[in-house]
Amino acid sequence: MTLEIENITLEDCYSILKPYQRRIVEKLVEKYGIEGAAEKWLLAKGPCQTSTFGGVTQDDKQQNDYWSRFRYEFDKLLCGHQDYEIEREKFVGTSKTIGLAGITAISTWIGPLIGLSPVLLVPSVALLLTTISKMGIKAYCSIKSFE
Protein backbone atom coordinates (compact mmCIF):
# COMPACT_ATOMS: atom_id res chain seq x y z
CA MET A 1 0.00 0.00 0.00
CA THR A 2 1.64 3.19 -1.18
CA LEU A 3 0.97 6.51 0.45
CA GLU A 4 1.45 9.91 -1.06
CA ILE A 5 2.32 13.17 0.63
CA GLU A 6 0.52 16.39 -0.19
CA ASN A 7 2.62 19.31 -1.28
CA ILE A 8 3.62 20.79 2.09
CA THR A 9 5.49 24.08 2.04
CA LEU A 10 7.62 25.51 4.82
CA GLU A 11 4.90 28.09 5.44
CA ASP A 12 2.38 25.25 5.86
CA CYS A 13 4.77 23.60 8.28
CA TYR A 14 5.23 26.80 10.29
CA SER A 15 1.49 27.43 10.43
CA ILE A 16 0.82 24.37 12.59
CA LEU A 17 3.54 25.12 15.14
CA LYS A 18 3.05 26.97 18.38
CA PRO A 19 4.52 30.51 18.23
CA TYR A 20 7.54 29.62 20.38
CA GLN A 21 8.21 26.54 18.22
CA ARG A 22 7.87 28.53 15.02
CA ARG A 23 10.43 31.16 16.06
CA ILE A 24 12.98 28.51 16.98
CA VAL A 25 12.33 26.29 13.97
CA GLU A 26 12.56 29.21 11.52
CA LYS A 27 16.00 30.10 12.91
CA LEU A 28 17.10 26.46 12.76
CA VAL A 29 15.98 26.15 9.14
CA GLU A 30 17.88 29.33 8.23
CA LYS A 31 21.05 27.99 9.81
CA TYR A 32 20.91 24.23 9.12
CA GLY A 33 18.38 23.66 6.32
CA ILE A 34 15.14 21.73 6.65
CA GLU A 35 16.44 18.28 7.56
CA GLY A 36 19.21 19.71 9.75
CA ALA A 37 16.62 21.79 11.60
CA ALA A 38 14.49 18.69 12.21
CA GLU A 39 17.48 16.94 13.74
CA LYS A 40 18.60 19.93 15.82
CA TRP A 41 15.07 20.39 17.16
CA LEU A 42 14.88 16.80 18.28
CA LEU A 43 18.35 16.78 19.83
CA ALA A 44 18.01 20.08 21.70
CA LYS A 45 18.84 19.72 25.36
CA GLY A 46 17.04 22.85 26.50
CA PRO A 47 18.49 25.54 28.74
CA CYS A 48 22.08 25.03 29.88
CA GLN A 49 22.89 23.93 33.41
CA THR A 50 19.46 22.58 34.23
CA SER A 51 18.64 19.08 35.31
CA THR A 52 16.11 16.96 33.52
CA PHE A 53 13.12 15.54 35.38
CA GLY A 54 14.49 13.43 38.22
CA GLY A 55 17.89 15.11 38.00
CA VAL A 56 19.26 12.60 35.50
CA THR A 57 21.28 14.02 32.64
CA GLN A 58 21.42 12.55 29.17
CA ASP A 59 24.71 12.04 27.43
CA ASP A 60 25.31 12.87 23.77
CA LYS A 61 25.04 9.21 22.72
CA GLN A 62 21.58 8.91 24.23
CA GLN A 63 20.50 12.20 22.63
CA ASN A 64 21.74 11.13 19.17
CA ASP A 65 19.96 7.83 19.64
CA TYR A 66 16.62 9.70 19.69
CA TRP A 67 17.28 11.03 16.21
CA SER A 68 18.34 7.70 14.74
CA ARG A 69 15.43 5.85 16.37
CA PHE A 70 13.01 8.54 15.23
CA ARG A 71 14.27 8.38 11.64
CA TYR A 72 14.13 4.58 11.62
CA GLU A 73 10.49 4.46 12.80
CA PHE A 74 9.49 7.41 10.59
CA ASP A 75 11.00 5.72 7.54
CA LYS A 76 9.34 2.40 8.36
CA LEU A 77 5.96 4.09 8.59
CA LEU A 78 6.24 6.01 5.33
CA CYS A 79 8.05 3.38 3.29
CA GLY A 80 5.74 0.45 3.78
CA HIS A 81 7.28 -1.63 6.58
CA GLN A 82 4.89 -4.26 7.91
CA ASP A 83 5.17 -2.91 11.48
CA TYR A 84 3.01 0.05 10.43
CA GLU A 85 0.49 -1.69 8.20
CA ILE A 86 -2.47 -0.80 10.44
CA GLU A 87 -1.42 2.85 10.68
CA ARG A 88 -1.05 3.15 6.91
CA GLU A 89 -4.50 1.60 6.48
CA LYS A 90 -5.89 4.37 8.67
CA PHE A 91 -4.46 6.94 6.26
CA VAL A 92 -5.86 5.09 3.26
CA GLY A 93 -9.25 4.85 4.98
CA THR A 94 -9.56 8.62 4.87
CA SER A 95 -7.30 9.51 1.97
CA LYS A 96 -4.25 8.10 0.18
CA THR A 97 -2.32 11.24 0.99
CA ILE A 98 -0.62 12.48 4.12
CA GLY A 99 -1.07 16.16 4.76
CA LEU A 100 -0.80 18.52 7.69
CA ALA A 101 -3.40 16.54 9.63
CA GLY A 102 -1.20 13.46 9.41
CA ILE A 103 1.64 15.13 11.31
CA THR A 104 -0.08 14.67 14.65
CA ALA A 105 -0.95 11.05 13.88
CA ILE A 106 2.63 10.23 12.89
CA SER A 107 3.99 11.93 16.01
CA THR A 108 1.52 10.03 18.18
CA TRP A 109 2.44 6.65 16.67
CA ILE A 110 6.20 7.14 16.87
CA GLY A 111 6.54 9.05 20.17
CA PRO A 112 5.96 6.14 22.56
CA LEU A 113 8.23 3.84 20.55
CA ILE A 114 11.25 6.08 21.01
CA GLY A 115 10.40 7.44 24.45
CA LEU A 116 9.54 11.04 23.54
CA SER A 117 6.35 13.01 23.84
CA PRO A 118 4.50 13.30 20.53
CA VAL A 119 4.36 17.08 21.08
CA LEU A 120 8.15 17.21 20.82
CA LEU A 121 8.09 15.31 17.53
CA VAL A 122 5.61 17.53 15.66
CA PRO A 123 8.20 20.05 14.35
CA SER A 124 10.58 17.30 13.18
CA VAL A 125 7.79 15.32 11.51
CA ALA A 126 6.45 18.45 9.81
CA LEU A 127 9.90 19.44 8.51
CA LEU A 128 10.68 15.98 7.16
CA LEU A 129 7.30 15.73 5.44
CA THR A 130 8.02 19.12 3.85
CA THR A 131 11.23 17.71 2.38
CA ILE A 132 9.65 14.44 1.26
CA SER A 133 6.72 16.24 -0.37
CA LYS A 134 9.20 18.00 -2.66
CA MET A 135 10.95 14.82 -3.83
CA GLY A 136 8.10 12.34 -3.64
CA ILE A 137 7.68 9.40 -1.33
CA LYS A 138 8.83 6.83 -3.92
CA ALA A 139 12.12 8.62 -4.44
CA TYR A 140 12.59 9.04 -0.69
CA CYS A 141 11.86 5.39 0.09
CA SER A 142 13.98 4.05 -2.77
CA ILE A 143 17.12 4.61 -0.70
CA LYS A 144 15.77 3.13 2.57
CA SER A 145 16.50 -0.35 3.88
CA PHE A 146 15.23 -1.98 7.07
CA GLU A 147 17.44 -5.05 7.28
- Angle at the Cα of 16 (from 58 to 89), degrees rounded to 5? 85
For position 147, what pLDDT does the model report? Answer: 67
Supply the pLDDT for residue 95.
67
Q: What is the pLDDT of residue 75?
A: 92
- What share of the chain in percent tops pLDDT 90? 39
Q: What band does 97 get if pLDDT is binned at 50, 70 and 90?
A: confident
Per residue in 130-141, pLDDT tens? 999 888 888 888
pLDDT for res 100: 83
